[in-house]
Amino acid sequence: MDTSFGVLFEHLTAGRFVGAVVIFTVTSFIVDFASKPSYPDSLPRVGHGKGFVASLRDHWSYFTRFQDWMQEGYEKHSKYGRLVVVPSSASRPAKIVIPQSQTTWMLEQPDSVIGTHEAHNDILYSEYNFLGKRLSDDVYHTRVVHKSIARALSALIPGTQEELKDSIDKVFGLDTEQWKSVNVWDSWLSIVPQVTNRMLIGADGHVNRNSALLESMVKFTDCVVQSSFLFCMFPKSLHPIVGPLLTIPNWIHYWRGAKHTLPVIQKRLDDMNKKAAGDPAYHDWLEPEDFITWTIRVARAEGNSFELQPSVIAKRLLPIEFAAIHTTTLTGLNMILDLVSSDLSLGYLEGLREEAARVFKEEGGKWTKNGLSRLYRIDSAIRESQRLSIFATTQVERKVVARSGITNPTQGWHAPYGSSLVLNWQGLHHDPDLHHEPERYDAFRYSNPREEYESRPAEQKDPAEALRLKKMGMVTTSDSHLAFSHGRHACPGRFFVAHELKMAIAYIVMNYDIKHINKKPEVQWMGQTVIPPLQARVEVRRRKGSVSRSYADGNNQDRKAE
C-alpha cells in the first residue's frame, strides 16, 4: 500500500469517522441556513422565532406542528388580509402565506418573477424523483397536456367508460347476494391507474391493463411520496449526495414499467412516421388519442428531437402518472368516505343514484360531455369532498425567481429571491365566513342552487346568474376553491379528472349498494401533507336489477349482475 494511504488509514478510527460525518452534517445545515432567503423582521410569523437555534427547532417540529402553525397563522393574520411567515422543513425556506385578498396579485405576476415550475420542482424534488435534471427543467409534459387534452376530451370518454366498468367490476365484484368488504384506498388504486393508463398509452388491452405495468405505476407514485418526505429531513446542500440513493427505487420501478411502455412508444413513432411519409398502407390509419400521440405531435411541431426519443417519452409519462394517480385516488377515497359517513336522513346516496340513472338513460347508455355536464349533484358531491377533505395544508405554491425579489405594492412587504409563496388551503376551505357549516359534508351544497335555477320558467332565468352558477362546478377554480390550484397554472388535466370521477361515482351508485359507516376514519398529518386512512374499509354489494348493459357500449353483456 502507498505510504500516504497507509498513514491515512492508521489515523482513520471509527470515532474520527463519526466525528467527521457529524461535522460535515452540521456544516451542511449551517450552509443551508445561510443560503435561504432572509425575511424582514417586520413580517408576522408563527413558530419558534428567528435565528439558527429557533430554525433548528422549527425543522424538528415541522412534521408534527405545521398544521397547527398554519391554522394559527390563518386565525391571527391571513383571515384579516395580512401575510404570515410559517416555518418549513429543513430543505425548504419558510413559507410566506399570502392572504386571500392578495391572491389575484400573486397569480398575475409573470413567470419570470414568480415561478410555478420552480416551486413544483422544489416541492417534489423533481430532479431526483423524475429521473433527470433536463427532464425536470422543462415543463414539456405539462405543455403537451395543455395543448391537447381539452380537444381530446370527447374522444377519451368511451375508453374511460370501458376501463371504469372493467376495473370497478373487478374490485367490487358482481355478487348480488353477499356483502363484500373492500379497502377503499386499495380499490381506488386499482381503478385510477387503469383509467390513467388508457389515457396515456391507448387501448391495447395487453399493455394498458397489464398488471406488472399497473403495479410499477403505483409503486413509482408511492416512491415519489416517500422520498419527498425523506428529502425534507436533509438540508438542500446534501441532496446531490442523498438524492441518487433515495431515488434508486424510482429507477427500478421506471425500468420495470418501461419494459411494457417502450415497445408501444416505438411502434407509435414508427406508425406516425409512416403515416407522415405517405405510406399507402397507412392511408386510412388514425393515430390513437392519448398522451403518446400528443407528445409526438407537439415535439414534431416544435422541431424537438430530444422529446421524440422513446426513453424520454417513457419518462415523460412518470409525472403525469404521479399527478393523475395520487391526487385522483385521494379524491376518490375521500369522496366515498364522506358520502357513506354522512347522515342517512339527508338522502345523498339516493339523490346521486337517481340523477345518475336519469341522465344515463337520457344519454342512451353512453356518456357524453353534455351528459356529464348535467350531473350537477355528483359534481357537487365531489367538489364538496374536495373542499372538506383536503390532502395538504397549502396550495398554489410559487417561488420568487426574480433576483431582485418582489414587493407587494398594496401592503409594502418585500419577498427576496428564493422565497416560497403559498395560499392557506386548509384555512380557506374551512372558514365559516366563506362556507356555511364548513366542517359538515353537504353533498348538494353546490347543486341545489343550480337545480333550482334549471327548474325555473325560461322567462325567470337570468344569463348572468346562469354564468355565476356554472362557476360552482368542480373544475372552476377560485381564490376559495383551490383543489385544482388556481390561476393560469391551474391543473390542466382537471377536466379529464372531473369526467373520470363523475363517471366512476355514477357507475358505483347505480350498480352498488354501500353500507353506511358511523364515522369517517381520522387522517394523520406529516408536515403539510395528509396521510390518508389507508386501512379504511366499506362493504359493497352489487344491486339486484342494477344496470346490466355494458357501461361502455350499451349492449347487453353483463348478465352476471342480474
Per-residue pLDDT at 97: 94
Q: Cell 409594502 identifies what position?
A: 412
Q: Which residues contact 125 (CB under 8 A, 6 or more apart)?
A: 227, 228, 231, 239, 243
Per-residue pLDDT at 552: 44
Q: Tell me the torsion sign for CA atoms 342, 344, 348, 349.
A: positive
| Mean pLDDT calculated for residue range 311-321 | 93
Q: Cell 400573486 identifies what position?
A: 106
150 band by pLDDT with thresholds 50, 70 and 90: confident
Three cell numbers written together for 246: 433515495
| Mean pLDDT calculated for residue range 349-356 | 96
* CA atoms of 359 and 356, how far apart (whole Å): 5
> Residue 153 forms beta bridges with which residues?
none
Regarding beta strands 95-98 and 180-183, do their DSSP bridges make them parallel or antiparallel, or are they unpaired?
unpaired
* Percent of the residues in the chain that have a pLDDT greater than 70, as a whole number: 91
Per-residue pLDDT at 236: 80
Which tens digit of pLDDT belongs to each residue from 481-503? 988 888 888 888 899 999 999 99
Letter string b/e over residues 491-527, b meaning 16 or more CB atoms within 10 A of that residue's CB = bbbbbbbbbbbbbbbbbbbbbbbbeebeebeebebeb
Which tens digit of pLDDT belongs to each residue from 112-122? 999 988 888 88
Closest to 406 in 3D by CA, of 419, 424, 423: 419
Three cell numbers written together for 470: 356554472
Q: Which residues contact 247 (CB under 8 A, 6 or more apart)?
A: 128, 129, 131, 223, 227
Fold of the domain spanning 140-172+181-389+441-542: Cytochrome p450 (1.10.630)
Three cell numbers written together for 182: 373492500
* CA atoms of 298 and 292, how far apart (whole Å): 10
Three cell numbers written together for 519: 364515522
DSSP assigned state of 485? B
Per-residue pLDDT at 257: 94
Q: Is 491 annotated as a binding residue?
A: yes
Per-residue pLDDT at 422: 94
pLDDT tops 70 at residue 191: yes
Which tens digit of pLDDT belongs to each residue from 81-110? 999 999 988 778 889 999 999 999 999 999
Q: Tell me the torsion sign for CA atoms 172, 173, 176, 178.
A: negative
